[in-house]
Structure 1
Amino acid sequence: MSSTHGFRFIDLFAGVGGFHAALSALGGKCVYAVEVDKKAAAVYEKNWGVKALGDITKDASDEVMNVPAHEVLAAGFPCQPFSKSGAQRGMDETRGTLYYNILRIIQERHPKIVLLENVRNLAGPRHMHEWQVIIETLRDEGYRVSETPAVFSPHLLPPERGGRPQVRERVFITATYDPDGLTNGMDVDPPVLSGQPVDGWEPATWHLEDLLDDSHNITGCNLTDSERLWIDAWNDFVETWYEKTDGRRPPGMPIWADSWTDVWSTKSAVRRAFGSTPHYKDLMESDPTLPQWKAGHLAKNYALFLEHEDWLKPWTRKWGIFTDKFPASRRKLEWQAQDTPRLWDTVMQLRPSGIRAKRPTYLPALVAITQTSIVGPRERRLSPRETARMQGLPEWFDFGAQAPSATYKQMGNGVNVAAVWHVVREHVLRDEDLLKRSAPGRRIIEAIARAPLSPDAALEARH
């Protein structure tokens, strides 16, 4: 290995290279990368000079091992359900999943560090079985790994640590090879505390404007006439609400205009049955098929309309809320912007569940579908370059001539660079006692010791 590199790493399910950005800036050298999406693989090669066109199912199996030796394995792998046949555990249970192929690499190469990343739900109740199998199989292979999920988001890091104003909670599973059995299968704390800001940082003080500029705008950032109509209408609702309620913030519940038609008429059966303060239990009693959550939202919306119908009825007529100008999903508002005075002053997502509005401090997570955040004060969506900034990629990162939709998708699927940087750093500090027992481990420790607290300067210096 060249003396300029402290360790070798492999990049599985690599996307455009969020893991690569962090690990190479730490002094690592990529010796293998795999990415099945050809557009993402082309961007990866363009920026990192490494082909990421393999197929892990063909390169790592019972019959084949084409993955070279390495010290760090990184994988933002898809979560797939494991077989529960016969209540089995371990390797056999993972067959047919992509985690099985990762595990084959681990069995064959035993990297010093394993770094796995997945969506928040992997540590949720629906995937408890999968979580437990992953932890147990890593321990069976001789790894120190915490059974407690490490859930982390870049908005918890201050700017000087490379943080970004984006809520992007991801689960990290980090493991260190312990061939001598020093930890004896004992549990250990995760490298980062879930949901805890770092260094006393206050995420509410993020200033989104610091990462925005209009020099990279594209046609796709602009709002359509229909989108402006929807936002103008609900902006009028918000401003009128403040006026009519003496400055009380809009309710945080989902506001469903469609539900108002149930109590619109004075002859409405719902109005006559439940009066001006319907209760969700009354609705559930009258309709046993109603889920409690829906009954609760309906009851609150009925009460809201009955209290404010003197101005809500004219508002719906003024804007044509119940015409074909407003699809059903645009007749809903999810107000999560606290005391923000106008909808146009918020950050919005046009979601299937409605128009979601948040304070313009930090963004909801970038997603790989058409919900790119609208920055109200800028009256446009984030540009592709701005989404790259939100993921911590440097300004020199080049997406080539691909369509903006491909970039949005890649950023929605990507991993945040500073989150990886921070988790790796904290993991190495936690497991220094194991790593220092081998020369490769000591090189990893030295790389972390040399590294700054933020990847930003290191990445910019590469270009």
Structure 2
Amino acid sequence: MSSPPFTFVDLFAGVGGFHAALSALGGECVYAVEKDAKAASVYERNWNIRAHGDIVDDTETQMRVPKHDVLAAGFPCQPFSKSGFQRGMDEARGTLFWNILRILEARRPTVVLLENVRNIYGPRHKHEWEVIVRSLRELGYQVSSRPIVFSPHLLPPERGGRPQVRERVFIMATYVGTRTSHIDVEPSVPHLAVDGWSPSGWDLVEHLPVQPDSELGNRLRLNLGPAETTWVEAWNDFVVTLRSAGVEKLPGFPVWVDAFVHQDDLVVPPGTAEWKAAFLRKNAAFYTEHQELLESWLSRWNYLRDFPASRRKFEWQAQDAKSLRDTVMHLRPSGLRVKQATYVPALVAITQTSILGDRLRRISPREAARLQGLPEWYDFGDQPDAATYKQMGNGVNVGAAYHVFREHVLRSLEAVRRRAPGLALAVEQSAVSPDEALERHRDPTREVIARRRRPNSTRRIAG
């Protein structure tokens, strides 16, 4: 068997988003760690490599992480100490990022690929951000002082994009030695749509694609409950009532039924926050203009008296859609949010899983996996849907990670080639999308190996 062009380690690996992206480039994983047992089980089932349970055990006293060319980590953000002019590594002590630095100090991989939520670059985490950048530079890594912020919906489908807004911070670093690592550079990937792609061109049904009922297995588990169906039907009637009366533009502000009052009777209590006072005034103006229509609608639904407070609120972001059937919906604490059926917000939790208006059901676990760029052969075993939704909500999007990593290596090609020529060549010769390589990646022997290792646990999810 020939040697892989490069090797990588996968830290805080989840179910393997980074693994998928780097495998699509020809890399071989030599070490992985994931503390969550369910996620680790999915990882091992699909990649046939053990996911160690705790990075601390393998880095604190003895370095058990093998040599590698690329370190990838979706690390948790933890507060660092603020105790004067220490080395960045000393300030990070006691956090999991310190364990990453320990590996970098001992193994000096050529490229580092880190991912985190967007607000790690915000004012609340300013100190942590500065320590991260300083620590990497002190170890000889060239890294931008500004993050790469990227989302899969900025990539066209043919480049591995997916119809999901999932803006994440990527930190890309290349080993150049301490003589030049202090030199700042621009982020290697701009926060822009790629190749002239317009994100409004996404069509969720076509590009996901949405699964037909015949593929869903027990569809009932995805259906809305009776109360949820009533909430959606009531607000659909709201939209249809206004559209039928010739109201071309629905409110762009949150509609609060509890704030429906004629403008002449509006009283804004003293001390009300300005943002809330503005919403109260806008709702009163809307009610006053369309009072007859709104009273007719409300009377058909018992004035929404049986609805919880959050379901008496409505956020319309679907522009010209004629009804909720043409949209994607989300039941949020702030109300029923309705968007165009182009792309969905970031996967976060089962309680806010996107609802497909034309199907009146939640997206399936398989559709959630597609939104994260995982291939069709990816096997979640017989775990509950809730576990899969959680894993997808915590995961790394494959296409976004692949694009960011590939573009960074291409920009840093000479520095990469000096230390990891196989990695440089693999990226130079790679396709612009990981999708085709991942579909080919499914070795027919892997299924046999998985069966031998885990009897009775190889059933793929139906939906």
TM-score where L is the length of structure 2? 0.90
Q: Distance in 1 between matches of 2:265 and 2:249?
A: 29
CA contact (8 A) 2:328 2:339 kept: yes
Q: Does 1:451 align with 2:430?
A: yes
Residue 351 of structure 2 is aligned with which of 352, 370, 391?
A: 370
The residue that corresponds to 2:243 in the other structure is 242
Where in structure 2 are the equivalents of 1:322-341 lying within 5 Å? 322-324=304-306, 326-341=307-322
Which letter does structure 2 place at the counterpart of 1:185? H
Q: Give the ranges of 4+ consecutive aligned residues of structure 1 lying more than 6 Å apart after TM superposition.
A: none
Change (3 A) 1:100 1:271: farther
SS of residue paired to 1:172: strand
RMSD of the alignment, in Å? 1.8
Q: List per-residue Cα deviations over 1:15-46 (Å, max 9, x = no partner).
A: 11010011112111111111111111111100
Distance 1:384 1:399 in 2: 9
SS at match of 2:39: helix
Task: State the shift of 1:86 in Å.
Answer: 4.8
SS at match of 1:370: helix
Which structure 2 residues correspond to residues 140-151 of structure 1 after superposition, within 5 A? 140-151=138-149
- CA shift, 1:107, in A, is 1.5
Q: Is the 8 A contact 1:321 1:331 kept in 2?
A: no
Q: Is the 8 A contact 1:75 1:117 kept in 2?
A: yes
After superposition, give the CA deviation of every residue in 1:205-238 in whole Å (9 maximum; x if it has no partner): 1121121122332332111121111111111111
1:96 positional shift: 2.4
Indicate the SS of the match to 1:317: helix
- 1:259 Cα deviation after fit: 2.2
Following superposition, the deviation at residue 383 of structure 1 comes to: 0.8
- Output the CA distance in 1 between the equivalents of 2:12 and 2:92: 17
Structure 1 residue 390: Cα displacement: 1.0
SS of structure 2 residue aligned to 1:118: strand
Q: Counterpart in 2 of 1:251?
A: 251
Tell me, yes or no, if the aligned pair for 1:155 and 1:362 is still in contact at 8 Å: yes
Q: Trace 1:50-449 onto structure 2 (pairs within 5 A).
A: 50-61=49-60, 63-86=61-84, 90-179=88-177, 181=179, 183-194=180-191, 196-210=192-206, 211-214=209-212, 215-217=214-216, 218-244=219-245, 246-260=246-260, 263=261, 271-272=264-265, 283=268, 287-288=270-271, 290-324=272-306, 326-438=307-419, 441-449=420-428
CA distance in 2, matches of 1:158, 1:69: 35
Query: AA paired with 1:106?
Result: L
Q: Distance in 2 between matches of 1:87 and 1:36?
A: 33
- The 10-residue stretch of structure 1 (344-353 or 88-97) with the greater mean CA deviation from structure 2: 88-97
Q: CA deviation at 1:255?
A: 1.1
> How many residues are treated as equivalent by the alignment?
437
TM-score, length-normalised on structure 1?
Answer: 0.90
**Residues 145-169 of structure 1: CA distance to partner in whole angstroms, max 9, x if unpaired?**
0112111111111111111111111
Structure 2 CA distance, aligned partners of 1:322 and 1:207? 33
Q: Which stretch has the larger CA shift, 348-357 or 219-228?
A: 219-228
Contact 1:208 1:360 in 2 (8 A): yes
Cα deviation 1:267-303 (Å, max 9, x = unaligned) = xxx84466xxxxxxxx4xx522x22222222221222
Deviation at 1:321, TM superposition (A): 4.1
Shift of 1:427: 0.6
- Contact residue 435 and residue 445 of structure 1 kept, 8 A: yes
Amino acid corresponding to residue 197 of structure 1 in structure 2: A
Change (3 A) 1:180 1:88: closer
Question: After superposition, what is the alpha-carbon deviation per residue over 1:29-84, rounded to whole angstroms, capped at 9, x for unaligned?
Answer: 111111111111111100000111320122222x2322111111100111122223
Secondary structure of 2:114's partner? strand
| Structure 1 residues 231 and 108, CA gap change in structure 2 (3 angstroms) | same
Gaps of 5+ in 2: 443-463
Q: In 2, are the aligned partners of 1:204 and 1:361 still within 8 Å (CA)?
A: yes
1:49 matched to which residue of 2? 48
* Counterpart secondary structure, 2:348: coil
The unaligned stretches of length 5 or more in structure 1 are: 265-269, 275-282
| 2:36 and 2:53 in contact (8 A); partners too | no
Equivalent residue letter for 1:291: A
